[in-house]
Structures are given as structure tokens and as C-alpha cells.
Chains A and B, each alone.
Chain A
């Protein structure tokens, strides 16, 4: 496993982010991906690079994401024609519990994160060169905003709408940023970790089973 920080170092932002990024456990990317990485890092020198299970991840500042995606799309060696996916993960501020399972004893590790972050992952795929890479940005928890990439990739239209709907990220420059999955007048962003699952108690013949977010395991 990566170095297990039982207590985070809340001083520096880099250290705070470091334990949220998985470290390069298997640093050997394939040759093709290593070339891709070198080419991108040569052009953008303020990226953090990580690799996990053979995948290339580039962490960029939110202001640079449009340039990075444009470079990946237009550069002839990279030619990432498809924005395959725009994913998000909400890492809220507070205590994160990590449970390590042993057969005897139940060690529980806790990490304290000062400020919550929303991680956005743009998965780019090249059909011509058959390589895939991930561009990641971290946005602050409250009022997250980032530039939209609908001018570069039309597929980002629906994906950014869904990101707005589910975690509340505002994409500036998006032509039509409204909710896509929830009803238009819904309040709250369901995929945030502080949004409850919202189940009801299940009652049958006198026994009550609590909804899944209140169960023991």
C-alpha cells in the first residue's frame, strides 16, 4: 500500500493533496504511455503525474485544463479525439476513515482533511493511436467553478450538465447548464457526500430494517 498517513499534514496544500492522489505503485507505464507522458510534460511543466495499474494521470490546475485538453486533442502525436468520460469524486472536508481488514483486530486509520475537494477526471481517448489518459483537477468544495470544454469536445455538453446536477460544479461558458437527471426544481446535489441517500425504513411483520446508509457494515 502507499505510505499510510494516519495523520495528515494540514500545513501545506501539496501534502494535503498528496494523500488523495494514489501514488505510483506500479510506475512502469507502457512505452506508449510513457512517450505520451513525456510529450505532455515537456509542454506543460506544472503538472503532477501519477500512474496506477498502468494508467496515466495528469493533475493540472483548474485554470490550465482547457489548454491541456486542447493540446491533447490537437497535437498529432496525441490526437485524443474522444473525451470518453468526465467523472467526479467528492472528497469532503473532515475525517476520512479507512478500515484495514485483518482476521484478528480491526485497525481503523483516520485521516483529517482540512478542506473538501471535488475531483474532476477527464478521460481522453485516442482512436488513432489507441491510448487513454486522464486529466484531473481538484476544485474547492464550496462554489466549485471551472471553464467548460464544450468548445473543444461537444460530448462535454451532457457530461458537464450531469456534473453540475450531481455535485454542483459550475462550468463557465457552457451553453445550457441546467439539471439533466434530477427534476429541474430539485434542491441539492445528490452525489455529494453530505447528501443523504434518502431511503425509508423497511418494515415487515414488525421487524424494521434501516435504510442502507444507516446500517452497521
Chain B
């Protein structure tokens, strides 16, 4: 996704990673995807009192092609679900999703025929912010944690501290299938770097 797919394989990229992640987290542009009550709290978070601009996010892009972050704010009904997926697909990599509020996280108090029980049935979610609706400070907390998550993303999977190569291979999916000869294993990163 994004920059990772274009890198030549096997190069140590620590400083580049840090720089790219810092710039991504520092200027994350949300797509306007307010649906219901949480949208009003999202607008309040972007307004003057609880300012989202200090996190680099005051520019709510209307076009999903220009945005990085989709804050699904509000309940997703069955009719709206394909639209959510459509907007998510239109966003360019790298992209993140925050499920704001309990309705977007799990369906909330509306456990019935009309509401999708959690937007993670439709799009992959990076951060769940509970609340009905979550206070602006709670949403900002979720955003700040998402920034930390972005800053810690790795382009290439590396073994963690104290992890054996066996465990590393199992965790990242190199373990299976084991090819017949070692020359089959390329040094390129396994698919989906950082995921």
C-alpha cells in the first residue's frame, strides 16, 4: 500500500520509515463521512472549541480520493452499507478508518434488522471509539492513538525483540508452505507490508 509497494526489497529503511510515518500522521485528512449524531460531535471536534486543526486535520475533504482517514461517524444502515464500502474503495492507499461511536463499532443500541452491527463487517477498522456520542475529547484521544499507531507502522516486517526466527516466520506467514529449495524464498517482504 502506498509507498511500500514501490520500494526495492531488502533495504534498511528505518529513517525513511520514521519520516514517512511522521508526515502521514501529521497531516491526516479526514473524509466527510458523518452520518448521524456522531457527525455533530465530529463537527464540534473540528470547530473552534475542540480544535482538530492542531492535529493537522482541519481539512475535511469532501472527495474521498483526496483523503486518508474515514471517520465513520454514526449508525450504518443496510441501505448505506454499500455506499460506505464504495467510499472506502475510492480512497487511495494509505488509508485508515476510525469507527466513531458505538453504532459504528458494534451496532450500538440498535440491535435490529436495519443497522449493520459494526462497520467492521464492511471495512477494516483501525480504531474503535466508543460513546454515544463520544465526547470530542474522546474522539481526539482516538485520533491521537491512531497517530501513534501510524507512527509505529513498519514497511518491512522485522522480528520483534526476543522473537525467534521460527515465531517470526509463523507470525508473518512465511512458515507455510515451506518450499522445496531455499532459493525459492526471495528476500522481498511478504505481501502486505506493515499489515
Q: List A residues at the B interface (Cβ < 8 Å).
A: 182-183, 186, 190, 195-200, 202, 211-212
Contact B111 A199 (CB under 8 A): yes
Shortest Cβ gap from A207 to chain B (Å): 15
Given contacts A182-B79, A183-B78, A183-B79, contact A198 B113 (CB under 8 A): yes
Interface-centre pick from A195, A196, A199, A212 (highest chain B CB count, 10 A): A199
Interface-centre pick from B78, B107, B113, B117 (highest chain A CB count, 10 A): B113
Contact B78 A197 (CB under 8 A): no
B112 at the interface (CB under 8 A from A): yes
Shortest Cβ distance from B81 into A: residue: A183
What A residues does B113 contact at CB under 8 A? Answer: 190, 195-199
B114 at the interface (CB under 8 A from A): yes
Shortest Cβ gap from B79 to chain A (Å): 5
What A residues does B107 contact at CB under 8 A? Answer: 200
Interface-centre pick from A183, A190, A211 (highest chain B CB count, 10 A): A183
What A residues does B111 contact at CB under 8 A? Answer: 197, 199-200, 202, 211-212
Shortest Cβ gap from A143 to chain B (Å): 23
Interface residues of B in 77-130 (CB under 8 A from A): 78-79, 107, 111-114, 117
CA distance A195 to B113 in the complex (A): 10
Shortest Cβ distance from A184 into B: residue: B79
Contacts A/B (CB < 8 Å), 21 sampled: A182-B78, A182-B79, A182-B114, A183-B78, A183-B79, A186-B78, A190-B114, A195-B113, A197-B111, A198-B113, A198-B114, A199-B111, A199-B112, A199-B113, A200-B107, A200-B111, A202-B111, A211-B111, A211-B112, A212-B111, A212-B112
Shortest Cβ distance from A204 into B: residue: B106
Shortest Cβ distance from A199 into B: residue: B111
Shortest Cβ gap from A178 to chain B (Å): 13
Chain A interface main SS type: loop
CA distance A211 to B111 in the complex (A): 7
Shortest Cβ distance from A213 into B: residue: B112
Contact A200 B117 (CB under 8 A): yes
Shortest Cβ gap from A188 to chain B (Å): 9
What B residues does A183 contact at CB under 8 A? Answer: 78-79
CA distance A196 to B113 in the complex (A): 8
CA distance A115 to B101 in the complex (A): 44
Shortest Cβ distance from A209 into B: residue: B111
What A residues does B114 contact at CB under 8 A? Answer: 182, 190, 198
- Beyond A183-B78, A190-B113: 15 further Cβ-contacts under 8 Å? A182-B78, A182-B79, A183-B79, A190-B114, A195-B113, A196-B113, A197-B113, A199-B111, A199-B112, A200-B107, A200-B111, A200-B117, A202-B111, A212-B111, A212-B112
What B residues does A199 contact at CB under 8 A? Answer: 111-113
What B residues does A195 contact at CB under 8 A? Answer: 113
CA distance A200 to B117 in the complex (A): 8
Contact A198 B112 (CB under 8 A): yes
CA distance A200 to B115 in the complex (A): 11
CA distance A197 to B111 in the complex (A): 8
Shortest Cβ distance from A195 into B: residue: B113
Shortest Cβ gap from B110 to chain A (Å): 9
Shortest Cβ distance from A183 into B: residue: B79
The digit string for B52-88, where 1 denotes a CB below 8 A from any CB of A, is: 0000000000000000000000000011000000000
What B residues does A182 contact at CB under 8 A? Answer: 78-79, 114
What B residues does A186 contact at CB under 8 A? Answer: 78
Give the 8 A-B residue pairs with the shortest CB-CB distance, closest first: A198-B113, A199-B111, A183-B79, A197-B112, A211-B111, A198-B112, A199-B112, A200-B117
